[in-house]
Amino acid sequence: MPTPTRRRPPAAEKRARAVEIVDRLARAMPDVRIALEFGNDLELLVSVILSAQSTDAGVNRATPALFARYRTAADYAAAAPEELWPFIRSLGLYRNKAKAIVAAMAAIAAEHGGRVPRTREALEALPGVGRKTAGVVLVHLGAAHAFPVDTHVGRVARRLGLTRQADPSKVEQDLMALVPEERWGEAHQLFVWHGRRTCDARRPACSRCPVEELCPKRGVPVAMRR
* Active centre residues (catalytic): 132, 150
Q: DSSP string of 198-209?
A: TS-SSS--GGG-
Cβ atoms of residues 31 and 70 within 8 Å: no
Cβ atoms of residues 82 and 8 within 8 Å: no
Task: Say how far apart CA 88 and CA 170 lie, in whole Å.
Answer: 32
Cβ atoms of residues 22 and 183 within 8 Å: yes
Q: CA separation (Å) from 111 to 42, 106, 162? A: 14, 8, 39
Task: Say how far apart CA 217 and CA 160 lie, in whole Å.
Answer: 6
